Chain A
Amino acid sequence: MSAPAFEGRVALVTGGGRGVGAATALALAEGGADVALLDAPPALQSPSYPLTDAEQLEAVAEQVRARGRRAAAIPTDVRDHGAVKAAFAAAAQLGPVELLVVCAGVRSVAAVGEMTDAQWDETVDVNLHGAYHALRVAVPEMIAGDGGRIVVVCGDEGRRGAPLLSHQAAAAWGAIGLAKSVAIETADAGIAVNVVCTTPLDTTMFRTPESWQQAAGEAGAGEEEAAHALRVRHPRSEAYVPVERVVETALFLLGRPGEELTGSVVDVAMGLSALNSC
């Protein structure tokens, strides 16, 4: 697939410090966009993996610049609406944001009866409130400007129930409800809002003993057992969705489609979506 032309447009990517966010940012830069990158939040209690720091975020910005585009690395806690507003204000140095990619998310694993408040709160705050904060600032700007494209990336627990991930599912289903509602409100405003739902990616967020055990469905399971269980689970017998597939899907939704394509959820799910009821 050839990269769509984003020449001269400005993108803002939350969770842009690594993983899908960083890969999407670089692909947008290759397509000609200037990119604002939000990531590097303060310490959180619930993730069992390291979060992105300001240095890593700046390194992604450098890679954008190495592609001949402008970049702004803006450390931001997306849980804080004021901070997100300030980040958009800082991004304005690049021009009006017309492309928004919401990737910021955290992951933890817990049975509902044993879940800590921090696990619930941080997941809902980052994955759902974080999306809300970004849309909240972006939508009025896009309405006032020349419209825009918004893509929200979330996990496939937004399409079904997921044991030990009730907080992740609640936030992801919520984000889909948010995206669909905003899609209706903005359908006549030159804005398209869509969701990309993916089965697990082999990224930092997932490379933890708790995620492997959750995927394998057994205590003590490791990387191998998780990969095996995921291969069995997916009709296409692969464990992980390649990051580039998610990026291609996001670029498609950010690129050519008009507002005819809005309010949709696109599953990049190794065939698992064949088991969805819709």
Chain B
Amino acid sequence: MGRFEDKVVVITGAAQGQGREHAVRFAREGADVVVSDLCEQIPCASPMGSEEGLAETVSLVEETGRRAVSLRADVREPAQMAAMRDAALEAYGRIDVLIANAGIGAFGAFPEMSDETWREMIAINLGGVAHAVRAVAPHMLERGQGRIVATSSEVGREGGPNNANYASAKWGVIGFVKSVAIELAPAGITVNALAPMSVATPMCHNPATYALFRPDLEDPSPEDVAGAFGTLNPMGVPWLDSSDTADAALFLASEEAKYITGVCLDVAGGWNAFHAA
């Protein structure tokens, strides 16, 4: 019997990367899922998910024997998040877990950063989390139960050069999560954040990110950048596997974590040991 037998899990940003991994892992534990993604490339962002990617997530979920409902939805648009909630309720009648995961990578030195790079980042990585939670919270309040996990980052725990926009959004996610955790605690709903280090997804593995870590090389390969990534954390791991963050999300969404709310859980090879408590 899976840990999430017959639970309903809604995941944003699920056409690839961590979102897809969350979907498959929850399904393996017995959950039915709703997966959404923008399925469109935003010009300033790292490689984003596609319709084909979202379909691939659905088929991976279905291979586990569970159901998946997919839809294209833009986390920047509250109405589309409401539509995602409605799709979940129509298909399954309830939502037990929300994983507010959708996010982009886009960076640059702050003085030269374009307005678009700033605005899209805040709109998606912070606004998108809020819109998803806002859409689902009233339903969870009505039921008097629910689990919400939002994806922050180690860059939401410190400053990140070339990442002023990303740090702003990811710090914002933690402040948001903590506030909503207090509001929803009396109703038995927990709200927590995950702070991973780099994860082996398209957001990490792309030429632009590689160039940021190895400005000295013409066309750096994964092997070229692994060392530089590894210097960020004491374990010296260049990047996590998506399964590492999924493990943490499963824990925070589980029955075992029912007294844990308003926390930010670092999955970061010890990077966080450099931070204040």
Contact = CB atoms under 8 A, between A and B. Distances in A.
Report whether chain A binds chain B: yes
Interface string B159-199: 11111110111111111111111111000000000000000
Contact of A263 (B127, B141, B159): B159
Interface residues of B, number: 49
A136 interface: yes
Contacts of B113: 136
Given A113-B137, A184-B161, A278-B277, A166 B176 contact: yes
A69 interface: no
A172 B126 CA distance: 12
Contact of B173 (A135, A165, A170, A277): A170
A124 B118 contact: no
Nearest to B181: A161
A124 B127 contact: yes
A182 interface: yes
22 contacts: A112-B134, A113-B138, A120-B130, A128-B122, A132-B118, A132-B165, A135-B110, A136-B113, A140-B111, A157-B179, A161-B177, A169-B178, A173-B172, A173-B175, A174-B122, A174-B126, A174-B169, A177-B167, A182-B110, A184-B160, A185-B164, A277-B276
B122 A124 contact: yes
Contacts of A165: 179
A166 B175 CA distance: 7
A177 B172 contact: yes
Interface of A: 81, 111-113, 115, 117, 120, 124, 128-129, 132, 135-136, 139-140, 143, 157-158, 160-167, 169-185, 263, 277-278
A160 B159 CA distance: 18
B183 A112 contact: yes
Contacts of B171: 173-174, 176-178
